[in-house]
Amino acid sequence: WVHEKENAEILKTIINSLELLQNEDKKGTVYDIHKVSQDSTFLRIFVFTWAEWLDVMEFTVHKDTVEACSFSSGLFPLFIPFTSIVNCVLFWVPFLDNGLNKNRIASLRTLLKTYIKEFKAS
């Protein structure tokens, strides 16, 4: 994404947009801000889906661009006991998220259209 704002303003806008994103989601997804860097260049958000899968959204802010990515953290949902360990062992197993992470980033991008000048997929 290409932007013309200060890094701190972009991160603040992303964080403020999470409530709108959560309200759009009718399945009860929870967004938890996990990490914001001191220099306003990185933001990590944990996303807990209605089925208790943990997805991660990461934003890296550069001078004029924002790198956004979203990915699933494991094969099994977190309500299964010891699933974090099992997911680590099975990291190599491919699985589909049915486009959920891509759609989540696209929805956030739509909410940020007044701040983001241009979108480029890489």
102, two tokens: 């891509």
Question: What are the pLDDT digits (tens) for 7-44?
Answer: 888 888 889 899 888 888 888 899 999 999 989 889 99
Q: CB-based contacts of 73: which residues, under 8 Å, 6+ apart?
A: 53, 54, 55, 56, 87
Q: Is the pLDDT of residue 122 over 70?
A: no
pTM, rounded to two decimals: 0.84
Domain residue extents for the chain? 2-118
**SS3 label, residue 14:** helix
User: 2-118: which CATH number, 3.40.1350, 3.30.1050, 3.40.50, 3.30.310?
Assistant: 3.30.310
